[in-house]
């Protein structure tokens, strides 16, 4: 089995991760890196070296010999990794096999020396008017930015350019310039050469905790800007717990759950930062988040891009039309009475050949547990129902009317009760909560009024 020596080196403009003699660089603007405390530079570099390489023995026959002690964030990272492996994923054959592979591969890692005493660095009070946002032009990060604007915060936006997903940036190149000019904000593109250490294909080892890895790499920016907040954009959907086929309880997306968002604050504290890792949209279901973005902030919404596509077509076509995200966003817009062409949909995604992109909604299998089915498909069923009330047609709408309309109408209060409400705000900073929640409550009431009016018109009572 091949043995690889892993080390980290601090440079004038960032750091390098070395695997034997092969070097992976991560660079910062000169003033950003020079401002970062010297005592924190090597710990950051060594932590990054572990984060981005630990996965290699899971898909290569190698042993890693780290030329430094276990980083202070080692246990935190392993905790997050284990829970992330429990997620339901199309890249995973089984939960047990994924856990076994990860556990066994950890025996191919060795460290050198005793952990350092962590440096005592003066922690300056952050500026409560500044935030750093992971930004993608997805509906969640657009809504987060729009909310920070309304809350009076000045935000710095960062897009992480993954080398194994080259078309993501190309797809956004078409309108990032116009966006920056309109909102007088710069989109910082971070080149991730270290992203080449992730597995491409297979079971996608190395992609489990990318938000934590992004936060680590953004620490010098957070310190330089004195930002009080690091905003990720995770909705309540990610807090839902389900049981997989092997009996494991698991979050839909653990890394995007409110529990893990709170844990990210440990990483900030380890690196002498008082910034608060948070998701402003934590209490919202995705359906409600999309409504608020398009209803309250249409100027931001026109840049909406949530497509999962990452191929050559994605660089020229805004929405691929053949993924779960495309069909879901298309249907949500119809349900809100918004023309999908507003954000660049020029294809009818209610055609029958799109049925497989609506989850299990149009599978031919007989549904044996209706309460469970309604609960797990509440958003999409509610969206179809509202699109139906607005008079939208299509082959899939015909199937929806025949197969589900009766049960949806019978259970409409249950569906609305689940989707149209506010959930926990554990990660939301207390000083922002009192101004944020009235925005949500106002938009929630607007949507409920629209639904009542639609129902009355449909029933001939208006």
Under 8 Å between Cβ of 342 and 305: no
Window from 134-143, 161-170, 212-221 with minimum mean pLDDT: 161-170
Window from 100-104, 129-133, 177-181, 383-387 with minimum mean pLDDT: 100-104
Residue 461 pLDDT > 80: no
- Give 2-62 as a DSSP string: EEEEEEEEEETTEEEEEETTEEEEEE--HHHHHHS-HHHHHHHHHHHHHHHHTTHHHHSSE
pLDDT, the chain, mean? 93
Confidence of residue 90 (pLDDT cuts 50, 70, 90): low
Tell me phi and psi for residue 18, to 5 degrees: -110, 125
- CB burial of residue 139 (10 Å; 0-12, 13-18, 19+): buried
Q: Dump pLDDT digits (tens) for 341-366.
A: 999 999 999 999 999 999 889 988 77
Q: Dump pLDDT digits (tens) for 144-183.
A: 999 999 999 999 999 999 998 888 888 888 888 999 999 9
pLDDT for 385 = 98
Residue 246 pLDDT > 90: no
pLDDT for 399 = 96
Confidence of residue 275 (pLDDT cuts 50, 70, 90): very high
Strands 109-110 and 276-278: unpaired
Q: For 65, which DSSP code?
A: E
Residue 202 pLDDT > 80: no
**Roughly how many angstroms between the first and final C-alpha of the chain, as a whole number?**
75
Q: For 164, which DSSP code?
A: T
pLDDT for 313 = 77
Q: Dump pLDDT digits (tens) for 30-47.
A: 999 999 999 999 999 999
What are the residue ranges of helices labelled H in 166-257? 166-183, 210-225
Confidence of residue 91 (pLDDT cuts 50, 70, 90): low
pLDDT for 1 = 80
Under 8 Å between Cβ of 224 and 273: no
Q: Tell me what percent of the residues of the chain surpass a pLDDT of 70.
A: 98
Under 8 Å between Cβ of 129 and 209: no
Confidence of residue 23 (pLDDT cuts 50, 70, 90): very high
Tokens 């920056």 — which residue?
Answer: 180
Under 8 Å between Cβ of 25 and 192: no
pLDDT for 367 = 84
Alpha-carbon span 158 to 150, nearest angstrom? 20
Alpha-carbon span 300 to 179, nearest angstrom? 9
């Amino acid at each position: 089995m091949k043995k690889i020596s892993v080390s980290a080196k601090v440079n004038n403009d960032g750091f390098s991760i070395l695997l034997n003699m092969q070097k992976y660089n991560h660079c910062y603007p000169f003033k950003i890196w020079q401002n970062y405390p010297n005592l924190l530079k090597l710990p950051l570099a060594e932590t990054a070296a572990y984060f981005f390489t630990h996965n290699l023995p899971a898909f290569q026959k190698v042993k890693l010999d780290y030329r430094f002690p276990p980083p202070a964030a080692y246990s935190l990272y392993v905790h997050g990794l284990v829970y992330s492996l429990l997620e339901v994923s199309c890249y995973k054959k089984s939960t047990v096999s994924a856990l076994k592979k990860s556990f066994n591969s950890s025996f191919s890692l060795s460290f050198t020396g005793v952990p350092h005493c962590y440096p005592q660095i003066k922690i300056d009070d952050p500026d409560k008017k500044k935030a750093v946002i992971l930004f993608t032009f997805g509906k969640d990060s657009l809504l987060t930015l729009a909310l920070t604007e309304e809350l009076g915060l000045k935000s710095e936006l960062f897009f992480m350019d993954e080398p194994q997903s080259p078309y993501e940036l190309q797809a956004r190149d078409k309108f990032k310039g116009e966006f920056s000019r309109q909102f007088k904000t710069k989109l910082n593109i971070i080149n991730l050469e270290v992203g080449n250490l992730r597995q491409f294909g297979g079971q996608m080892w190395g992609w489990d905790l990318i938000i934590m890895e992004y936060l680590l790499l953004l620490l010098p920016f957070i310190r330089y800007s004195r930002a009080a907040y690091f905003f990720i954009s995770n909705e309540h959907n990610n807090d839902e717990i389900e049981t997989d086929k092997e009996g494991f309880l698991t979050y839909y997306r653990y890394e995007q759950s409110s529990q893990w968002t709170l844990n990210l604050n440990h990483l900030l504290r380890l690196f002498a930062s008082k910034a608060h890792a948070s998701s402003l949209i934590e209490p919202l279901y995705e359906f409600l988040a999309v409504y608020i973005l398009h209803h309250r902030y249409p100027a931001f919404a026109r840049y909406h891009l949530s497509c999962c596509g990452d191929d050559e077509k994605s660089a020229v076509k805004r929405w691929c039309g053949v993924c779960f995200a495309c069909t879901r966003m298309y249907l949500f817009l119809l349900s809100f009475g918004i023309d999908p062409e507003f954000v660049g949909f020029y294809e009818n995604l209610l055609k029958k050949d799109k049925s497989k992109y609506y989850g299990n909604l149009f599978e031919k299998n007989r549904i044996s547990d209706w309460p469970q089915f309604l609960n797990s498909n509440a958003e999409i069923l509610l969206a179809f129902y509202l699109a139906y009330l607005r008079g939208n047609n299509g082959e899939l709408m015909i199937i929806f009317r025949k197969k589900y309309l009766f049960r949806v109408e019978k259970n409409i209060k249950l569906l609305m009760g689940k989707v149209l409400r506010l959930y926990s705000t554990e990660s939301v900073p207390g000083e922002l909560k009192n101004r944020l929640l009235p925005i949500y409550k106002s938009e929630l009431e607007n949507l409920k009024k629209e639904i009542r009016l639609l129902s009355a018109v449909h029933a001939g009572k208006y």
